[in-house]
Chains A and B, each alone.
Chain A
Amino acid sequence: MVYAVTHSPGWPEVEAAFFDWGAYRDSFPAISRAFLLNVKIFLIAEAFILVFALLLAVLRSLPGPVFFPIRALSIAYADFFRGVPTILVIALLGFGAPALAIDGIPTSTTFWGIVSLVLIYTAYVSEVYRAGIESVHPSQEAAARSLGLTRSQALGWVVLPQAVRRVIPPLLNDFIGLQKDTALVGILGSVEAFKQSQIEVAADFNFTHYLVAATLFVAITIPLARFTDWLVARDRRRRQAGALA
């Protein structure tokens, strides 16, 4: 098939526009540097998302009528931010907030890009956590409470550690989505990998520069996936092999 494609009429034009090795090498250093911003956005956003989403999931699992308003609010939050397109939130906050020009409100587009991603992904990741919490059998909490642990101690020492272990693979799925969506911050003018490749493409109309950005994104996702596999395997090994702790 490779042969058929590379020997079809029109291939030289395609090759020149998308697979130009020279152009690839030329723009690689600049786009790689810009890609560091994607990684930075990802790491900062992820740290906040993991904490906020867990908080949201816990709030949503509070029992009893007393906590109904809190539960209702957290459900409304998750429904809203899972429903709104990411690019819309980024545009709204990234263009809107700095335009207010109020003292004390940051004007950095990257800052507002990160805020938008945190808002959106907190909603997604809290659903993942919630599924994990609900998958832990109630008898586990009963056992913890029967030892005299408080509700929050039972949650913290018994329910959440098991819940989080179970949702590591779906969590990674959202990590990868987040890592890709950092490119959306480029629409605000933050020069990350996608924006940088747009600039390069605009200069010489060679689309190979997009390919540079694409390979960088893929290059970071694959190790992330293998890392999760390793985490899951390690946990299973530890539980079944015993006597390693």
Chain B
Amino acid sequence: MIEIDGVRKSFGRLEVLRGIDLDVAEHEVVCLIGASGSGKSTLLRCVNLLEPVDAGQIVVGGDEITARGVDVNALRRRIGIVFQAYNLFPHMSVIRNVTLGPRKALGLSRRQAEAEADELLRRFGLADKRDDYPDRLSGGQQQRVAVVRALAMRPDVMLLDEVTSALDPELVAEVLNVIRELAAGGMTMLIATHEMGFARDIASRVCFLDAGVILEQGPPARIFSTPQEPRTRQFLDRIIEAGRL
């Protein structure tokens, strides 16, 4: 579903991605772990073309998205992304946040877009928040709305960029449960996360990013119990020390 091949990305003189190769199969859930600044978020933003890549290519669903002259807007409709800071539109109610993409980018009628949005909101326990503005919602509710907003575009792939990092601890679970449900439903996902316990539960594969390269990858059981690389061990030791695993 996603094929990333030799992707490089620099910001000025800082090389953030130094040759990333990664394939994500359909229905697979791949978690990216690693320290802040290791390039997880940048990689996700590259897959959604929010950042242009400097070298390498990315293929999504058979189409090379890094090719010249590609229809960026058409492509983004197939790839949902959820951000760390939710990025809901504060001047719109929940229902309008969720239906903006389907109505403007997919050209759905208001009635149809709202019918589908209501269905999604019900499924994720947000039906009663439909007409609220984002300021009124808790962080967990806002992030669930952000997930619904991305899902409303019926994407083939979901990219989740540290979606629980801005949340109070007691609100993390409700968001993770939503993602678990998506995984159970067979959604293909590429997830950057600091929640190691969650990654261990949900991932088909875990990739450890370090200084812009994937240093080690494999099934979560192996990565978390018997990491091969010293850098991976060091990272996981620090996580355990911090009580996060």
Q: Hey, which bits of chain A sit against chain B, CB under 8 A?
A: 139-140, 142-150, 153, 157-158, 161-162, 165, 238-245
Stretch at the interface among B27-35, B80-88, B173-181, B183-191: B80-88
Is A143 in contact with B89, judged by CB distance below 8 angstroms?
yes
- Docked pose: A149 CA to B72 CA in angstroms: 10
Q: Mark B64-89, 1 if CB is under 8 A from A, else 0.
A: 00000000011011011101010111
Q: Which residue in chain B gives the minimum CB-CB distance to A164?
A: B91
Is A139 in contact with B104, judged by CB distance below 8 angstroms?
no
Q: Nearest chain A CB to B8's CB is how many angstroms away?
A: 21
Contacts A147-B77, A239-B135, A245-B93 given: A140-B104 contact, CB under 8 Å?
no
Question: Which of the residues A139, A144, A241, A244 comes within 8 Å of B85, measured between beta carbons?
Answer: A139
* Chain A interface helix/strand/loop/mixed: helix
Q: Does B164 count as interface, using CB distance less than 8 angstroms?
A: no
Q: Hey, which bits of chain B sit against chain A, CB under 8 A?
A: 48, 50, 73-74, 76-77, 79-81, 83, 85, 87-91, 93, 100-101, 104-106, 131-133, 135-136, 149-150, 153
Q: Which residue in chain B gives the minimum CB-CB distance to A158?
A: B89
On chain B, the residues within 8 Å of A146 by CB distance are 48, 50, 76, 79-81, 150
On chain B, the residues within 8 Å of A241 by CB distance are 136
Question: Which of the residues B48, B100, B135 comes within 8 Å of A149, measured between beta carbons?
Answer: B100
Question: Which of the residues A150, A162, A239, A245 comes within 8 Å of B131, measured between beta carbons?
Answer: A245
Q: Nearest chain A CB to B81's CB is how many angstroms away?
A: 5
Q: Can you sample 28 A-B contacts with CB below 8 Å?
A: A143-B83, A143-B88, A144-B89, A144-B100, A145-B50, A145-B73, A145-B76, A146-B79, A146-B80, A146-B81, A147-B104, A147-B105, A147-B153, A148-B106, A149-B105, A150-B73, A158-B89, A161-B91, A162-B89, A165-B91, A239-B90, A239-B135, A240-B133, A240-B135, A241-B136, A242-B133, A242-B135, A245-B131
On chain A, the residues within 8 Å of B73 by CB distance are 145, 148-150
Which of B77, B85, B90 has the largest number of chain A CB atoms within 10 A?
A: B90
- Docked pose: A153 CA to B107 CA in angstroms: 12
Q: Which residue in chain B gives the minimum CB-CB distance to A161?
A: B91
On chain B, the residues within 8 Å of A143 by CB distance are 83, 87-89
Is B87 in contact with A139, judged by CB distance below 8 angstroms?
yes
Is A242 in contact with B77, judged by CB distance below 8 angstroms?
no
Is A147 in contact with B91, judged by CB distance below 8 angstroms?
no
On chain B, the residues within 8 Å of A157 by CB distance are 100, 104
- Docked pose: A161 CA to B73 CA in angstroms: 21
- Docked pose: A61 CA to B149 CA in angstroms: 27
- Docked pose: A244 CA to B105 CA in angstroms: 27
On chain A, the residues within 8 Å of B90 by CB distance are 162, 239
Q: Nearest chain A CB to B142's CB is how many angstroms away?
A: 12
Which of A147, A153, A158, A245 has the largest number of chain B CB atoms within 10 A?
A: A147
On chain B, the residues within 8 Å of A162 by CB distance are 89-91
Is A242 in contact with B81, judged by CB distance below 8 angstroms?
no
- Docked pose: A144 CA to B90 CA in angstroms: 12
On chain A, the residues within 8 Å of B50 by CB distance are 142, 145-146
- Docked pose: A131 CA to B147 CA in angstroms: 31
Q: Nearest chain A CB to B100's CB is how many angstroms away?
A: 6
On chain B, the residues within 8 Å of A158 by CB distance are 89, 100
Q: Which residue in chain B gives the minimum CB-CB distance to A236?
A: B135
On chain B, the residues within 8 Å of A150 by CB distance are 73
Is B100 in contact with A140, judged by CB distance below 8 angstroms?
no
Is A149 in contact with B132, judged by CB distance below 8 angstroms?
no
